[in-house]
Amino acid sequence: MENGPSRTAMMAAAGRAAHLIVDSAPYLFQDTVAEALLGERAAELIAYHREFGDHPVLSGTRAAVTTRSHYTEARLAAGFDQYVVLGAGLDSFAYRSPLATSTAVFEVDHPATQEWKRELLSAAGIDPGATRFVGVDFECDDLATELAAHGFDPTRPALVSWLGVAMYLTESAVTATLDTLSAFAPGTELVMEYALPPELRDERGRVYGEFAIPATAEQGEPWLSYFTPESLTALLERCGFTAVAHISQREAVDEEVWRRDDGLCPADLCRLGRATIRA
């Protein structure tokens, strides 16, 4: 946000919004707030999907952002009453999900990003309700301290989502965040999106990556870290987690949802790692 609103945050929200407009049912995920949250930029950003929706970057973005949100929010429904959204960007869970009424939602992001988001919420007439906006500059702020100051209970398990973020961080920065999270209550669950190295991508993932990775780098948001499932499992275990599963886009939603009459397909470029903090 130091150089303006995050383009990747806007692209993710546009992908969720466009999925309901340019793709056919059955939908992978229904974000009914994303379009309104984008405000005056919505028409422009969704128009790219309308006109060039089959392009690997645009269709790949829609598949990525919808499958990861579907999977993560399904995990939340498993019984957590605290939800920490790391790098929240324009995530809209707190403003549309029935689960938000019984869940303490902590959106963690850079203070400037949160100010921008709150302006968008206000412009769209969306009431943030009881959402806790936890402004954290990871260069100088302590995540655990800031969460506690906003009412987070470190003695109770929480679900922590970390989507669309880790690939933009160095491995040392990823490790530092995992070390911080490992101090949360046993039973706390992490759903983390990570990027695969080139040799593990399928053909669709390879094509998507060849377009998307240079494009984000040109916008000042380069991808800096890649993990194999084995290397991420090892890192998680060193940081006090038990790695439970590695989930591809195809596996993140019911198989029948991929029986489609449009061109939306899963790509194996990024996966979700789900892990639990050990007792």
CA distances for 150 relative to 107, 133, 190, angstroms: 10, 8, 20
Query: How far is residue 191's CA from residue 271's CA, in Å, rounded to a whole number?
Result: 10
270-277 and 132-135 strand pairing: unpaired
If we measure between CA atoms, which residue out of 226, 230, 228, 158 comes closest to residue 191?
158
Query: How far is residue 145's CA from residue 143's CA, in Å, rounded to a whole number?
Result: 6
70 with 29: CB under 8 angstroms? Answer: yes
Tell me how far apart the 2 most distant CA atoms of the chain are, in Å. 51
The whole-number pLDDT of residue 53 equals: 93
The whole-number pLDDT of residue 118 equals: 96
The two three-digit tokens of residue 61, written as one number: 């973005």
User: Could you tell me how many residues make up the chain?
Assistant: 279
SS3 (DSSP) at 235: helix
Q: Tell me, what DSSP letter sits at residue 30?
A: -
The structure's pTM equals 0.95
The whole-number pLDDT of residue 4 equals: 57
CA distances for 223 relative to 59, 89, 203, 270, angstroms: 19, 17, 19, 12
Mean pLDDT in consecutive groups of 10 residues from the start of the chain, 279 residues: 72 98 97 97 96 95 98 95 97 97 96 95 96 90 94 96 96 94 96 98 97 92 96 97 95 96 95 96
β partners of residue 108? 86, 134
Read off the pLDDT of residues 172-203 as tens digits, 9 standing for 90 and up.
Answer: 999 999 999 999 999 999 999 999 999 999 99
Listed in sequence order, the DSSP H helices in 23-142 are 34-38, 42-52, 56-76, 93-96, 111-123
Query: How far is residue 126's CA from residue 111's CA, in Å, rounded to a whole number?
Result: 19
The two three-digit tokens of residue 250, written as one number: 């195809």
CA angle 248/9/200 to nearest 5° reads 25
Query: How far is residue 77's CA from residue 7's CA, in Å, rounded to a whole number?
Result: 30
